[in-house]
Amino acid sequence: MCGIIGYVGDEAAAPIVYQGLENLEYRGYDSAGIALVNDGGGLTVAKRSGEVSNLTVPDAPDATCGIGHTRWSTHGPPTDANAHPHTDCTDSIAVVHNGIIENHEELRAELDAHEFTSDTDTEVVPHLLEAARADEAVPDLRAALERVIDRLEGSYAVCVVDREADRIVAARDGSPLVIGHGEDAAFVASDVTAFLDRTREVTYLEDGDVADLSADGDVEVFAAGDAAGSEPVDRGVETVEWEADAAEKAGYEHYMRKEIHEQPSALRQTISGRIDIDRGRVDLDVSFPPGFLADLEEIQIVACGTSNYAGRYAARLFEDLAGVRATVEIASEYDFGAGRSPDRTLVVAVTQSGETADTLGAIRRANAAGARTVAVTNTLGSTVTREVDDTAFIRAGPEIGVAATKTFASQVATLSMLAVAIGRERGALAAADARSVLEDLRGLPGAVQQVLDAEDRVRAAASEYGDGEAFFFVGRDLGVPVALEGALKLKEISYDHAEGFAAGELKHGPLALVTADTPVLAVLTAGGRASETMNNVTEAQTRGAPAIGCVSAADEYDTLDVSLPVPDVGTFEPLVANVHLQLFAYHVANDNGRPIDKPRNLAKSVTVE
């Protein structure tokens, strides 16, 4: 939540910072703002509530250092006054912040001589910096920031400029921050997408780091220590492999539709070089200590939202393919659990961003309990990768739309490979059975492509049934997580009321809500106990509900109002059915003119608990 960007170099900073804000807008769009260090001293600050496009960029061609912010509100409503950057009493220091400063009230009380102009937690930072700079023992802006972050409780990524020099100092603890190395220029941002059109050479900061970026592009990083920030460290430089245009719309009206259509290629990347069908083996680069898998008693999956539903899908595969009990917890509710043996438990965090605070909290609780931990994530260098024993990257490429689509498919594919790897290593899965699952996995991108090629069918269904009063999504077995995900997608981007159920549960309550105005969408595929699910669909139809079914190619249900075919890919058919449901949500929302990539009140990366 919230995106921050800073640039210092030899070009005009305003357009670079503004472009960075546009690239980061998926992280929040309640307000946007820029602070520039004027040539010859002084700061120019512009900020405005609403989307980045509302912001008037200051005309300052000679300003070559600036910071910017796009906000997802936590403290204080989305007004101009609460927009970042925030400044001190003398307008000498400007700060942008992502995270939550939990002790801001206490700090504000200490700063009673200072004039505050916003309701935000962030505003304590420039005033604390102002106080630190007034102390002669504090030699410069970096030393001031080191002193200030010592006082902060909670999570932060901050970037700071002051009126005196073309220089940015930045620090992180609990919120992401990455440095970009340009030619005679340096960038700092919440995410590489902010500056990927300018450089792919990056340094990922770690919690406790303070970075000092100067006008010639030099960057120094200092690690927290006893004397905080006093020790320079080398965090290395990595090259981002994907190209900037992977994060652009490529002719699609919305990132979401582009990302839905990218699923075949994303899945190919996910699988590429990792499966050996002849031997029935998988190589995911995830390793376990000797004997660990043989003794494994339980796999606990922790995740939120769409990633949680991918985890639910996978839990069934872990039980079937790896022969291990698997549970799925909503990360914010997770506790390791009494009576479990940490040395016989594997905790798997599923998170597209790798930055979701609830999921990081769960992994920290698992680590504290002494369990072995694995992350399944899309994001290189993300916080989760540093907190776990091992990481399996899903390799879906950048996902910008707030609604997760291609990453759900790639998460399930990655988790299914992990299930095969563990099953084979434990001796729980025969080579022939592994081959069969891996064959289906290899067929998955083609099956998804067939669904995408038939988009007109689901577009027509969305247009005919999209004005329902509410929508119920049902399935059984592997169809349940897909029903939950289908409902989440629709409610998230269309704002329609949608709920997902295990189909058998309809008759235990929700059937009371079913009318002729509540379409039922059903997963009627292999892996989803289709004929039993169809019985429940018929019960809803008897009460007048129209029924849309995602149906295995081999089956036919004449009584459905709309039948959306799903090619034969065994265990992965519900995952393919999900693509129909993604497109249904997309077209309903689009028909209603919703801001699909930026649904109200949401943000892509949820870095608060």
**Rule CB under 6 A: is residue 348 a binding residue for ligand M6R?**
no
Among the residue ranges 195-203, 242-250, 351-359, 469-477, the one whose residues contact ligand M6R (CB under 6 A): 351-359
- Please give the Cα distance from 255 to 248 (Å, whole number): 8
Tokens of 353: 């961003």
Residues 6+ apart with CB under 8 A from 449: 264
Among the residue ranges 225-233, 268-276, 305-313, 472-480, the one whose residues contact ligand M6R (CB under 6 A): 305-313
CB 599 within 8 A of CB 489: no
- Whose tokens are 């000679």? That residue is 62
- Exposure string over 559-578, b if 16+ CB within 10 A, otherwise e: ebebbbbbbebbbbbbbbbb
CB 81 within 8 A of CB 139: no
Options 2, 65, 159, 550, the catalytic residue: 2
User: According to CB under 6 A, which one of 67, 260, 304, 530 is a site residue for ligand M6R?
Assistant: 304
Among the residue ranges 174-182, 185-193, 303-311, 431-439, the one whose residues contact ligand M6R (CB under 6 A): 303-311
CB of 44 to ligand M6R, least distance (A): 35
Between 101 and 357, whose beta carbon lies closer to ligand M6R? Answer: 357
Between 296 and 303, whose beta carbon lies closer to ligand M6R? Answer: 303
CB of 304 to ligand M6R, least distance (A): 4
Name residues contacting ligand M6R, limited to 488-507 (CB under 6 A): 488, 492
**Rule CB under 6 A: is residue 305 a binding residue for ligand M6R?**
yes
**Rule CB under 6 A: is residue 552 a binding residue for ligand M6R?**
no
CB of 407 to ligand M6R, least distance (A): 7
Between 34 and 375, whose beta carbon lies closer to ligand M6R? Answer: 375
CB of 60 to ligand M6R, least distance (A): 36
Q: Measured in whole angstroms, how far is the alpha carbon of residue 288 from the centre of its chain? A: 27
CA atoms within 13 A on the CB side of 184: 5
Alpha-carbon distance values, 598 to 245, 309, 402 (Å): 20, 21, 6
Alpha-carbon distance values, 464 to 91, 453, 456, 517, 579 (Å): 56, 20, 12, 12, 19
**Rule CB under 6 A: is residue 398 a binding residue for ligand M6R?**
no
Tokens of 452: 């995408």
Closest to 180 measured CA to CA, from 165, 167, 190: 190
The strand ranges marked E within 324-416 are 325-330, 345-351, 372-377, 390-393
Between 185 and 488, whose beta carbon lies closer to ligand M6R? Answer: 488
Is position 604 annotated as part of the catalytic site? yes
Between 207 and 597, whose beta carbon lies closer to ligand M6R? Answer: 597
CB of 191 to ligand M6R, least distance (A): 12
Name residues contacting ligand M6R, limited to 464-493 (CB under 6 A): 488, 492
CB of 462 to ligand M6R, least distance (A): 18
- Please give the Cα distance from 125 to 96 (Å, whole number): 9
One character per residue 153-192, x = contact with ligand M6R (rule: CB under 6 A):
----------------------------------------
CB of 97 to ligand M6R, least distance (A): 20
In single-letter form, the type of residue at position 192 comes to V
- Please give the Cα distance from 371 to 80 (Å, whole number): 46
- Please give the Cα distance from 462 to 569 (Å, whole number): 25
**Rule CB under 6 A: is residue 306 a binding residue for ligand M6R?**
yes
One character per residue 48-87, x = contact with ligand M6R (rule: CB under 6 A):
----------------------------------------
Between 73 and 82, whose beta carbon lies closer to ligand M6R? Answer: 73
Name residues contacting ligand M6R, limited to 443-462 (CB under 6 A): none
DSSP state of 174: B
Alpha-carbon distance values, 153 to 99, 104, 122, 176, 332 (Å): 10, 8, 12, 16, 20
Tokens of 403: 């609604």
Residue nearest to ligand M6R (CB): 305
Between 305 and 398, whose beta carbon lies closer to ligand M6R? Answer: 305
Tokens of 93: 């220091």
One character per residue 402-421, x = contact with ligand M6R (rule: CB under 6 A):
xxx-----------------
Peptide bond connecting 176 to the previous residue in cis, omega within 30 degrees of 0: no
Closest to 382 measured CA to CA, from 400, 356, 405: 356
User: According to CB under 6 A, which one of 353, 414, 494, 590 is a site residue for ligand M6R?
Assistant: 353
**Rule CB under 6 A: is residue 396 a binding residue for ligand M6R?**
no
CB of 378 to ligand M6R, least distance (A): 8
Between 229 and 354, whose beta carbon lies closer to ligand M6R? Answer: 354
**Rule CB under 6 A: is residue 352 a binding residue for ligand M6R?**
yes
CB of 442 to ligand M6R, least distance (A): 25
CB 584 within 8 A of CB 562: no
Dump the DSSP string for 71-131. Answer: E--SSS-S-TTTSSPEE-TTS-EEEEEEEEETTHHHHHHHTTTSPP-SS-STTHHHHHHHH
**Rule CB under 6 A: is residue 263 a binding residue for ligand M6R?**
no
Name residues contacting ligand M6R, limited to 308-337 (CB under 6 A): none
Q: Backbone phi, then psi, for 10, in 5-degree steps? A: -115, 10
- Total number of residues binding ligand M6R (CB under 6 A)? 15
**Rule CB under 6 A: is residue 307 a binding residue for ligand M6R?**
yes
**Using CB under 6 A as the criterion, which residues of the chain lie in contact with ligand M6R when the complex forms?**
304-307, 351-353, 356, 359, 402-404, 488, 492, 606
Task: List active site positions.
Answer: 2, 604
